[in-house]
Amino acid sequence: MKYRKRFEELFFKIISALMTYALIAVLVFIIGVIFYKGISALSWDILLKTPKGGYYYGGEGGVLNAIIGSLYIASGATFIAMIIGMPAALYLNVYLMRYKRTQNTIRFLLDTLWGIPSIVYGAFGFAMMLFLGMNASLLAGIITVSLLVLPIMVRTFDEILSTIPKGLMEASLALGSTRCETAYKIMLKQGFQGFITAVLLCFGRAIGDAASVLFTAGYSDQIPVNLDEPAATLPLAIFFQLSSPIPEVRERAFASALILTTIILVISLSARLFSMRFSQTNIR
């Protein structure tokens, strides 16, 4: 009996430790593979030139069009999500402070919205585009992606706002500021760290998402200049180039994967750094 017990204890402890370390190993493995494959294919040409003679047929050039297109779409979408998402999160925490039930219902619905897959947003964006008579363009891509990241923005920001002590807000109200001023001057400042995290998270999600821009942003070999031109994006560049039969083009896909991974890693690490930096000056 005692042996069995001890064995069970040891067995499960080892298993669960193994599973945890396996996760770290998997992450290192994935990033290692991407870097190993990408480094050999990476060159200044790929970073700084647009494709010449068709991205699919192994012409010269690189993926600058996709890098710029991705940055445009991600920053545009993050900006729209910021304009709509930030006030919504503030409203939820300032005006609805007294209505716990409503607050929780709203959070619950937003979480559900977060779970909707990006392909559905893509299909919806496409339907909307046809309805409005637009073509696949930068603008359509930005709008679709902004819908996708909106719930993420609100929920992430809200998560930090909800931890701010109520007394701070009550003090501000007692000094005669309106709820609105309290929201923007007190809550936003105190929760700025959460806001930055939310923005960076949205940006990372927006730049990495392929299914929603597949229908809406189109693909082109040029760098988009106007909002109504189609734009290439990094995830789609990887996806299309990888399905090419020509080895050189596949190599370029690996290089693009490396670029995208690096962008994501930088965003993820800077989110951590910023959130530490900005929480130092908070009132506690």
Partner 1 sequence: MELRRRIVDSFNGKWMLISLIILFILPLVIGTGLYLKSIPLLEHHSLRQLVFSTNWAPSRSSFGFWSFISGSLYVTLISFLLSLPFCLFAAIYLTQFSSRFLLRIMHPVIDILSGLPSVIYGVWGILIVVPFIGDYLAPALGTTSTGYSVLAGGSVLAVMCIPYSLNMLIEIFRTVPCGLREASLSLGATSWEAVKHVVIRGNYPGIIAAFGLGIAKAFGETIAVMMVVGNVVSNSFNPLDPAYPLPALIANNYGEMLSIPLYDSALMFAALVLFIIIVIINLIFRFLIHKTRKK
Between 47 and 180, name the residue whose CB sits nearer to partner 1. Answer: 180
Report whether 199 contacts 78 (CB < 8 A).
Answer: yes
Q: What is the smallest separation between the CB atom of 227 and partner 1, expressed in angstroms?
A: 21
**Scanning residues 241 to 260, which ones bind partner 1 (CB under 8 A)?**
242, 253-254, 257, 260
Tell whether residue 266 is a contact of partner 1 (CB under 8 A). Answer: no
Distant-in-sequence contacts of 216-219, Cβ < 8 A, 24+ apart: 216/122, 216/125, 216/126, 216/129, 216/136, 216/137, 216/140, 216/141, 216/143, 216/144, 217/69, 217/73, 217/136, 217/137, 217/138, 217/140, 217/141, 217/144, 218/135, 218/136, 218/137, 218/141
Tokens representing residue 246 in the block: 């020509």
Q: What is the smallest separation between the CB atom of 141 and partner 1, expressed in angstroms?
A: 14
Between 204 and 224, name the residue whose CB sits nearer to partner 1. Answer: 204
Site mask, partner 1, residues 8-47, x = CB under 8 A? xx--xx-xxxxxx-xxx-xx-xxx-xx--x----------
Gyration radius of the chain's alpha carbons: 23
**Scanning residues 59 to 118, which ones bind partner 1 (CB under 8 A)?**
83-85, 87-88, 90-92, 95, 104, 106-113, 115-118
69 closest CA partner among 195, 204, 219: 219
Site mask, partner 1, residues 183-222, x = CB under 8 A? xx----------------x--xx-xxxxx--xx-------
**Scanning residues 221 to 240, which ones bind partner 1 (CB under 8 A)?**
235, 238-239
